[in-house]
Amino acid sequence: MTSPGGITGVRLVAFVAVQVVFLAGMLGLTAQAVQRQQAERQPPQFRTEPLKVVPLYNRPDIVSDADLVAVLDKLQPRFRGQPPHVNHLDHALRFWGVNAKFSDPQALSGFEMRDILLDHRQFTQLSGKKTPAFLILTPKGVGVRLQEGEASASHVDHTLAGLAEVGTPLDYPVQTAQGEATVQAILEQSLADFSLNQLEYEWSALAYALYIPQPRWMTREGQQISYDLLADRIMRQGYVQGVCLGHHRLHALVMLLRIDEQTPILSDATRTRIHKHLRAATDLLVKNQKSEGNWDRDWAGSAASTGDGEGSTSVMARTILATGHPLEWWALAPADVLPPPETLQKAAAWLVKTTKAMSQREINVNYTFLSHAGRALALWRGKFPADVTLP
C-alpha cells in the first residue's frame, strides 16, 4: 500500500510537473509574441524585382485589332526635343513600358523616358539648368519633386508606382544632382515620408505591394502599416472622392487583389470587402453610363466635389478620364466584379471614336488621361501596349 504521505508526494510532483509544462508553454508563447512584435517593428524587407500583374482577358469584341493599332499609333509619346513634362513622361512610361520602341523619330522609347526621369544629367540637358531638379538626394533616400509645375510629378508616389509597374528593379541606377543612388532610395524616401493622413496613398500602396512582400511593418514614426489597413483606408472614402474621380483608389484595390493571388498579403475578411467594394462600384458605373458609352464626374450618381486631379476641367478631359480609368482597372480585375459585356463594348467604342477624331494638339493636352485609355484597350486584348505592332 502507498502511504497517505506517499500519495501526497506523488500529487505534488505531478502538480509541479504540470506547472512547469504550463509555464514553459507560456514562456514559449511570450517569446513568440515578442519575436513577432520585434519583427513587425523592423523596417520592411524588399524584393529587388517587383511583381508583375498581367492581363486576364483577350476580348476582340471590346476592341478590334485595327482599332487598337489606330489608337496606339496616335498615342505614341512624341516628346523628343521638348522640355520634359514630368506628368506626361511618367504617365507615358507607365502606359508603354520600358521595352517600347517606335519608328516615329519624334517618339521616345521606354528606356529613354525612364532614363530622363531617373538621370538628372539627361533631365537638365532637356529642361535647362534653371529648371529645379526632379530628384533630390536626402539623408533618407531620394525625394521626388511633387506638384510644383511641369518639372514635377502630379500624384504622390505615382512615379515610384509607375517604375514598379513597368518592372524596374530596385538596384536600377539613379543619378541626382547631389550624387548617385538607386530606385531603392526612392522607395526608402517614400516609406520615410509616408503617413496614413496624407492626401492620397493609392499609388504608395501599389508601389509597396509590388516591392514589399511583408503583410505588415512599422514606420519610423511608430505607425504600423498593413495592406489590410491600406485597403480599409482606401475603401472608407466615397467613390468619387480623391484625384481622378476616385478611380486611382479602385485601381489600387484591384492590384492588391491580383498581387495577393501571387503572395498572400490580405486577410480573408479584407479580400471579401474589396470584392464587395469593387462590385458596388461596377454597379454604379453600369447604372450611370451615358447613352454614348462614356462617363463624367457623376459616374457614382453624384458629381465629384473635387477637381479631376490634373488641372483640366474641360468636358473632353473629364469624360476621357472618367471612361478610360474604369476600363483600365476592369481589364485587370477578377471576373466577378466585371460589368456586362455591352457596358465594356460601349465604353471602348466611345474611347476609340473619340481618340481617332482628336488632333495632335488635343492629344498633347489630354495625354495623361489618354494614357489610361490606351493602356486599357491593349489590356483588353491580353497585351501590354508595347507588345502591339504599330505601322
Domain residue limits, the chain: 55-387
- The grid coordinates of residue 137 equal 538626394
Residue 297: which of 362, 287, 368, 305 has the closest Cα?
Answer: 305
Bridge partners of 181, per DSSP, are 174
Each residue's pLDDT, cut to its tens digit, for the chain (391 residues) gives 455 555 566 666 666 666 666 666 666 665 554 455 555 567 799 999 999 999 999 999 999 999 999 999 999 999 998 888 999 999 999 999 999 999 999 999 999 999 999 999 999 998 888 899 999 999 999 999 999 988 899 999 999 999 999 999 999 999 999 999 999 999 999 999 998 888 888 999 999 999 999 999 988 778 899 999 999 999 998 899 888 999 999 999 999 999 999 999 999 999 999 999 999 999 999 999 999 999 999 999 976 544 444 444 588 999 999 999 999 999 999 999 999 999 999 999 999 999 999 999 999 999 999 999 999 999 999 999 999 999 8
pTM of the model: 0.88
CATH fold of the domain at 55-387: Glycosyltransferase (1.50.10)
pLDDT of residue 25: 64
Residue 38 has a pLDDT of: 54
